[in-house]
Chain A
Amino acid sequence: MYPRFIPALFLALLIFTAGAAHQAHAFPGTNAGAPAYRAANPVPDTPNVTVTLLPEKTDLKGGETVTVGIRQKIRKGWHTYWVNPGDSGTETRASWSGVGGIGGLKADAIQWPVPKRMPIGPLMNFGYENEVVLLQDITLPKKLPAGPQTITADFEILVCQEICIPESHTASFTINDGSEAHRQAVDQARGKLPLDMGWQTEIAEENGTLIVSTKTDMPSAFTKLRSIELYPEEWGMIANPEQSAAALKNNVLAITHKRGDRDLAEIPVAKLVIAYEDASGARKAIRVSALNKLAAPNAGASAEQKDIGFSKALLLAFLGGLILNLMPCVFPVLSMKAMSLVELKDKEAAKARLHGIVYTLGILVSFALVAGLLLILKAGGAQIGWGFQLQHPAVILFLAYLFLLLGLNLAGFFEIDFGLSNAGQSLARQQGVAGTFFTGVLATIVATPCTAPFMAAAMGFALTQSAAVAMSVFLALGFGLAFPYLALSFVPALQRSLPRPGAWMETFRQFLAFLMFIAVGWLIAVLAEQVGFIQLFYAQLGLVAVAFGIWLFKHLPSRRKWRFAVIILALLSFLFAISNFFTEAAPQGRAISGEPLAVESPVLEGEPFTRARLNALLKGDDPVFVNMTAAWCITCKVNEKVALETRRVRGAFDEYGVRYLKGDWTNQNPEITNFLEEYGRSGVPIYVYYGPRNAMSGARPAPVILPQILTAGIVADSIAQQPQ
């Protein structure tokens, strides 16, 4: 469907991307062994902690999930650690195995009761003393042999007084043998978990202080503000030994704490436990997840995603603009414009330069308008990003009409001076300066459906910066778009390298018409994703009506009476086409439907993305792959075809049990816009891979952002790299 140079272009870009991949360093030779240093393993004589497993149920079927309490009895004066141990220490780690033919046991992450602050000199630890019951959900394999089965877990527990001892423990329990269940103990332990309230929470940093603000629907709970303690699940967010300060205003609880020394940008989503005493003095805690607006786009570890600086963003935007010239929608405009220089005579050089400058201005002014509108809407709180123009079907339809008109014009169906129809004429007789300016505007309009590679990173950067910086990046993009023609108009040597004028120019012009018709086909396919069947039908009738109206005007009868009637008919025809703009359903009218995109292969169907679904999947153990796409995004579609829907990727998804979530940003969707922003993007595509939960630690590795230009290899490799 696309000219051959597009895959070739992508290939070239991949080489750039691959070159930036970073290397891991490992110290060589540590495995060589050094017998001279060997000493006894530090295994203590008597354990400082004992572990007992407390299953909530013991009468279980295959595939059933059971909550198991992990009770630690800790020697007096000693302590074990919370998931974030504070300044030193390590959290308890569990690894489960079945005995007697039960394989494939699945363990969810450990659920941690509210910890205590334990100061040790100038350091602060978070953990437990005396006794604690951690909870973990275990799912049995589907095929469970009949009769009693023993389920065993190995624990690595660091237990410290002032000194620390890492202890290994093994504990087990038996199911289906009538042994006692521990429902009450598990219920009691549940009561000590922080309550996940799902309250909207934001974190910010000001002058070395971390500010957590949570919208609470029970402000009366926080009457004892001095009792409030903040426990981030991530290390290094706060200076652990410092105290939190809290204040309540209306329904916003604001907690401040001296920030830790970690770069907060590393933490895209911060999970926080807030402990407090209620009015009766009982200790309680809630758990919230805060979107980190400070998180940089490189939250993952993608080579392409390093926090790009201002100058690099400008360069990428400029390159993106240059590449836009080759896109099927823009290429004909540029070509026709360039053709007008072919017959140039030397004395007209000054005039050529003038046209080059005016064309550039036309592009820059229209980019400034679009970008300005985007920035104003964003400042007003709208959840939009680059490409927002295309989220309204009326805009898509308008572009379809426009491309049809351009195509008909190029094909010679009618002649209107669009600034495209003067190939073969001398520059002296060519359109005026205003026409050239309009060509620049037109180039910008037709460029909008094409997102060039490099653009996304630059746009994503731009939209997180000040308006001035953002505007500079957008203008750099426009300048890139204008540059080829500008260069051509300024350098006579380049003009001379153009082919000599001749009859071929008319043929070439007609050929370019087909590129325009391809673009129309594309836009109609996009429209099909946005509107209903009938509206789509009207839209296509509208295309016919546009052409019909023009045809009528071309064949006006000479008799006055008939002439008048035909003009009315032609105008009605245009009116019908225009009326479609107003009958297109508002994009919100059709929520993101679960039905797969038309171009999608039947095999790799993602579930539709919602934040709730993602959170639910992340609570589980399976790896998760998120693909944010839109029908109007060409890069997305190409990636889906050449990478995601290949046998290799499907195989990898199957083999590693990857859950696939697909977000469709064809129409506006604030949830997806939020997700994009979380990863520092302002537009699609984005591919994020969340590795599987580590069976030992119960933790997930940091999510990985894949490059914007995918190959099957890139996707399969990032899935196969199972973090240990």
Chain B
Amino acid sequence: MIKTLFLGAFAAMAMLTPAQAQAAPVIGEAAPAFTGTDSNGKEHSLADYKGKIVVLEWTNHECPYVVKHYDSGNMQKLQESYTGKDVVWLTVNSGAAGKQGHRTAEQANEIIASKGAKQTAYLLDGEGVIGRAYEAKVSPHMFVIDAQGVLVYDGAIDDNDSASQDVIAASENYVAAALDALLAGNAVETSKTKPYGCGVKYKDE
């Protein structure tokens, strides 16, 4: 009893310490709203895509783990396959100007062309606003939002965090599984995994 009180007091103390500004995105709750500008200067809001499934993919083309999925063609294939099924695929680059992986609109379009990427749009988030709203930690960190705007997946692209392309074929792709489930009208089975990759190079505060 005394111990419970004791612990309770600590919990209260811990709550009084200032929490981070924004609330973390929570599986099963509304995904944080955002508006971003893509590599062609067009604006995209999450609200625009109500009624559609949305995938968010954090990227940094100099990160070996992103290289793994683009040089193998794995990411492009996912993009092509699911945008073909009316899924909105937004690639987000939250690398700050002057840091590794940052891309201007022109450079982003170059990458899209040279890699044959098939996303709906490539959002430039050099200020890190979208990244921080989603607490995107690594590239590639993947999120899936269902047609009602509810966050249903947050985590790694697949279950093998090796940087080698050789393991992709035998990996279980969590994003594909989540999207297949949603498209079939089922619940997403694995909704939270440990994202792997390189830390997102955010703008210094």
Contacts and interface: CB of A to CB of B under 8 A. Distances in A.
- A and B associate in one complex: yes
Interface of A: 22, 24-27, 29-31, 33-34, 36-39, 42, 87-90, 120-123, 125, 156, 158, 160, 162-166, 204, 206-209, 211, 213, 235-236, 239, 242-243, 245, 247, 249, 252, 254, 256-258, 261-263, 724
A25 B100 contact: no
B7 A206 contact: yes
Contact of B24 (A42, A245, A249, A261): A261
Top-10 shortest CB links A-B: A34-B73, A25-B177, A31-B169, A88-B199, A27-B173, A27-B176, A206-B11, A166-B163, A121-B202, A256-B14
B106 interface: no
Interface stretch (B43-51, B63-71, B83-91): B63-71
25 contacts: A22-B189, A26-B172, A27-B173, A30-B74, A30-B173, A31-B169, A42-B64, A42-B163, A88-B195, A90-B163, A121-B204, A156-B162, A162-B201, A164-B63, A164-B198, A204-B7, A206-B11, A209-B11, A211-B7, A236-B192, A239-B24, A249-B6, A254-B10, A261-B24, A261-B192
Given A156-B162, A209-B15, A36 B176 contact: no
B199 A89 contact: yes
B137 interface: yes
B180 A25 contact: yes
Nearest to A236: B194
A368 to B, nearest CB: 27
Interface of B: 3, 6-8, 10-11, 13-15, 17, 19-20, 24, 26, 62-65, 67, 70-74, 76-78, 99-101, 115-116, 132, 135, 137-138, 154, 158, 161-163, 168-173, 176-177, 180-181, 189, 192, 194-205
Contacts of A213: 3, 7
A162 B101 CA distance: 10
B173 A123 contact: no
A118 to B, nearest CB: 10
Given A26-B172, A30-B171, A209-B11, 15 more contacts: A25-B176, A26-B173, A27-B77, A36-B116, A37-B71, A39-B71, A88-B137, A121-B199, A121-B202, A121-B205, A122-B205, A125-B199, A236-B194, A256-B13, A263-B192
Contacts of A252: 3, 6
B71 to A, nearest CB: 5
Contacts of A249: 6
B103 to A, nearest CB: 15
Contacts of A254: 6-7, 10
B166 to A, nearest CB: 10
B19 to A, nearest CB: 7
B67 A211 contact: no
Given A30-B173, A162-B100, A263-B192, A37 B199 contact: no
A27 B74 CA distance: 9
Contacts of A247: 10, 13
Nearest to A36: B116
A88 B172 contact: no
A245 B161 CA distance: 32
B26 to A, nearest CB: 8
Contacts of A211: 7, 10-11
B73 A87 contact: no
B198 A160 contact: yes
Of the listed residues B26, B67, B73, B204, the one surrounded by the most CB atoms of chain A closer than 10 A to its CB is: B73
Contacts of B100: 162-163
Given A121-B201, A261-B192, A39 B67 contact: yes
B6 A88 contact: no
A646 to B, nearest CB: 31
Nearest to A724: B170
A87 B138 contact: yes
A561 to B, nearest CB: 66
A306 to B, nearest CB: 10
A200 B73 CA distance: 50
B194 A25 contact: no
Contacts of B14: 209, 245, 256-258
B40 to A, nearest CB: 22
A263 B26 CA distance: 11
B23 to A, nearest CB: 10
A3 to B, nearest CB: 40
